[in-house]
Amino acid sequence: MNANKSLWLHDYNIKSFEPLTSNMEADIVVIGAGLCGLLTAYMLKDTGQKIVIIDAGKIASGTSANNTAKITAQHGIMYKELFDKDESAARLYKKVCTDAIENYKKIITENNILCDYRECDALVYSIDEEYAKKIVDEYEIATQLGFDAYLTDTIEPNINVVNALGYKKQATFHPVKFMNEIVRLLEISGVKIYENTTAIDIEDDIVETEDGWEIRASHIVMATHFPFFKIKGLYSLKMQQERSYIVALSGINKKIENMYIDAYEYGYSFKQHGEYLLVCGQDHKTGEDEGEDRFKELEEYAKYLYPESQIACRWAAQDCMTLDNMPYIGKYSTLMPNCYVATGFKKWGITLSMVAANTIKDMIINRVNEESNLFSPSRFKIGSTKKLVEFATDSGVAFVKGHNNVFGISSELKLAKGDGVVMQHNNIKLAIYRGEDDKLTCVSAVCSHLGCVVKFNKSEKTWDCPCHGSRYDINGNVIEGPALEPLKKLF
Ligand SMILES: Cc1cc2nc3c(=O)[nH]c(=O)nc-3n(C[C@H](O)[C@H](O)[C@H](O)COP(=O)(O)OP(=O)(O)OC[C@H]3O[C@@H](n4cnc5c(N)ncnc54)[C@H](O)[C@@H]3O)c2cc1C
């Protein structure tokens, strides 16, 4: 097993697809082939429309292949807050997420998809009194909303908790095994798929690719995780990215049956998959990890709980967080009526990708659905305006700090092997990395997305942007967007 690769990617079985090499016409083009894009195409595949999917890299290998794979409507503790603001929104959110779980089951059963699907409970726990009180409040609302929920004061992982709230009839699966099959079914239905085909612009009904090809389509779905436009739609103001780390432990003495997450937003999450126990945590805003070795911290914690275990593999991923804790699903912007977006899944995008796929399908086939208002990307309610200022300020502070907090380059650079630093030389911001072989690599420190200054991520040896979460390898190549272009290589 590759120690630095997601457990799910070890079962990647999807054939490769050629890049697009000519102009095309279609009824629907889906940009991005993670769970969200693939499920959207799946939901639309029997409508008789010609569907094309393009992906900038390999399909089904982004965040959708790097998560904890819980299929659940229990998204931490959130229902009480939502219910207090807008009861009908809480009811609708619960309904669409519960329907999404059912939909997974239906698709998996009807197509005999072997993806380790199993039903179990999802529990949110508290190790302190403050959050224990929140859990009791959440339980009361959960039962009012119709969840089959219960309170308990013990959980399966080796942690002493004050209490925990369980939701019955949730599920888990192997996301890559699932996507393997979805891709096969899409191909059988005639959906055309192109890899290594990056969309760089959309003008009216035309998607333009990096290689200069154009796809003309009546409907364009942007399922790229973080939208790639810099300005259009203002998603750079409306979203931030948050990163989390996962280890898969083997050799634990007692397997767990159900799925767990700490009620505290920076707590841990646990789930069993076969012989492996996944422990996830060490969350932080992308680009703001203050030089800590997150994997080390996570591994120490996991070993403290399960001293008998071994680390089988480990990986990290990030997701988009929105202003009001609701995803953005629907029309990309009022200025782009034929373009749809699904993003801001706040680390619950397995369930919410299914929700998005259904919502967008309904919008494309002109079927009225209730949730399009709740998730509308152009909404600004449920407390969103204060957060908008916060996000914009965070981004602005990161921008200014980044540009001010760079130090003059010294004649003798004191930089440990495997470490990186941002420095300024003749008004140029440099991101310098010293390899384990002592070799220095230097790229521009200015993010190609909107010009923020990147920071070194010591855990993963990458350059991460604190403004919108773009990530680059030490040579400046884009690992994750929204940035499309690399950091300029200087030496
Ligand atoms: C650590 C972690 C744990 C998680 N655990 C869970 C969980 O247990 N349950 C749950 O519900 N959710 C979970 N999530 C969230 C969930 O995994 C994501 O929200 C979901 O997978 C996002 O799917 P996606 O299709 O939008 O993005 P992705 O899977 O990232 O797919 C986006 C695709 O778009 C492509 N793309 C990007 N830009 C372009 C472009 N310009 N042109 C063409 N293609 C492009 C990319 O190459 C990529 O393939 C977790 C997230 C994290 C970070």
pLDDT in tens, 1-41: 888 999 999 999 888 999 999 999 999 999 999 999 999 99
Give the per-residue pLDDT at 411.
46
Q: Where in the chain is the domain with CATH 2.102.10.10?
A: 403-480
DSSP string, 39-107: HHHHHHTTTT--EEEE-SSSTT-SGGGSS--EE-S--SS-HHHHHHH-HHHHHHHHHHHHHHHHHHHHH
Burial of 411 (0-12, 13-18, 19+ CB in 10 A): exposed
For residues 376 and 372, give the distance between their C-alpha atoms in angstroms, rounded to a whole number: 6
Cα–Cα dist 122/72, whole Å: 7
Residue showing tokens 């698709």: 107
Pick the closest to residue 483 from 292, 230, 241, 152 (CA basis): 230
pTM above threshold 0.85? yes
Name every residue whose Cβ is closer than 8 Å to that of residue 265 and which is 6 or more positions away in sequence: 76, 283
Query: In whole angstroms, what separates CA 65 from the centre of its chain?
Result: 10
- Residues near 31 by beta carbon (within 8 Å), at least 6 away in sequence: 37, 54, 55, 199, 207, 220, 221, 222, 223, 224
Q: Which of 64, 72, 260, 448 to mutate to test the pocket of ligand 1 (most atoms within 8 A of CB)?
A: 64
Question: Do 456 and 312 form a contact (C-beta atoms < 8 A)?
Answer: no
Q: How far apart are CA 207 and CA 216, in angstroms?
A: 6
Report d(CA 8, CA 67) in Å as an integer: 9
Return the ∠ at Cα 86 (arms to 85 and 92), rounded to 5°. 140
Which residues face 433 on adjacent strands?
A: 420, 441
pLDDT of residue 328: 96
Rounded CA Rg of the chain: 22
What's the length of the chain? Answer: 491
Q: Tell me what pLDDT residue 293 has.
A: 84
Gap between the Cα atoms of 87 and 40, Å rounded: 28
Find the residues whose C-beta lies inside 6 A of ligand 1.
31-37, 54-57, 62-64, 67-70, 198-199, 223-225, 228, 244, 246, 280, 317-319, 345, 347-351, 353, 481
Ligand 1 probe mutation, 225, 226, 242, most atoms within 8 A of CB: 225
Distance separating alpha carbons of residues 490 and 11, to the nearest angstrom: 38
Question: Which residues, given as ranges, of the chain have pLDDT below 70?
Answer: 289-292, 380-413
Residue 239 Rama label (left phi>0; alpha psi -120 to 50; beta):
beta
Question: Six-digit token pair at 274?
Answer: 């076969």
For ligand 1, atom 14, which residue shows the shortest CA distance? 347
Domain with CATH 3.50.50.60 in the chain: 8-67+176-233+325-384
The residue contributing the CA closest to ligand 1 atom 18 is: 349
Ligand 1: nearest atom to the Cα of 224: 34
Q: In Å, what is the CA distance from 27 to each residue of 159, 370, 397? A: 52, 25, 43
Fold of the domain built from segment(s) 113-172+238-322: D-Amino Acid Oxidase; Chain A, domain 2 (3.30.9)
Per-residue model confidence (pLDDT) at position 382: 44
Ligand 1 atom closest to the Cα of residue 69 is 8
Q: Which residues of the chain form CATH 3.30.9.10?
A: 113-172+238-322
* Nearest atom within ligand 1 for CA of residue 243: 53
In CATH, the architecture of 8-67+176-233+325-384 is: 3-Layer(bba) Sandwich (3.50)
Secondary structure (3-state) at 142: helix
Q: Are the CB atoms for 284 and 308 separated by under 8 Å?
A: no
Nearest Cα residue to 441 out of 431, 428, 451, 456: 431
Q: Which fold has domain 403-480?
A: Rieske Iron-sulfur Protein (2.102.10)
